[in-house]
Amino acid sequence: MPGPVALHVSRVRALYRRILLLHRALPVELKALGDAYVKEEFRRHRSVGPADAQRFLREWEIYAEMLWQQANEDRQNSRKKTCFGTPLTEEKLNDFHNEQIGQLQELMQEATKPNKQFNISDDSEYKN
């Protein structure tokens, strides 16, 4: 019979895989951003204490459930574009530490950047 640590690790891995699978339903830009954010957050929380670990898992399980529901809505409403995510309440924001507020601000800046990954210019500029 596996011990509590093994069960916890198994639960974390299952949730991590579930979230990455759910991200496949997102638009490409959001999937890339979401995958990178999830990977970093799970990596960052590897060594937190038991209380923080439980809160971390609970919040990500809520996220996974919300995303699952929104992905199902998206599949059912092929004509209407689904809005993924949910607004943060003031109560949730007040629970964040300063570091989390900074991460949230970075995420917002990344998510609202113009979608320019490549600078394509006219080839005639470079011809001699």
CB 82 within 8 Å of CB 30: no
66 located within any domain: yes
From the list 79, 59, 68, the residue with the least C-alpha distance to 20 is: 68
Average pLDDT over residues 25-45: 91
Q: Does this model's pTM top 0.85? A: no
119 located within any domain: no
From the list 104, 93, 97, the residue with the least C-alpha distance to 40 is: 104
Check whether 125 has a pLDDT greater than 60.
no
From the list 41, 38, 47, 48, the residue with the least C-alpha distance to 100 is: 41
* Number of domain units in the chain: 1
Residues of the domain holding 71: 4-113
46 located within any domain: yes
125 located within any domain: no
Per-residue confidence band for 59, with pLDDT thresholds at 50, 70 and 90:
very high
120 located within any domain: no
> Rounded to the nearest 5°, which phi and psi values hold at 21?
-65, -45
17 located within any domain: yes
**Which has more pLDDT, 82 or 31?**
31
Mean pLDDT over the full length of the chain: 82
76 located within any domain: yes
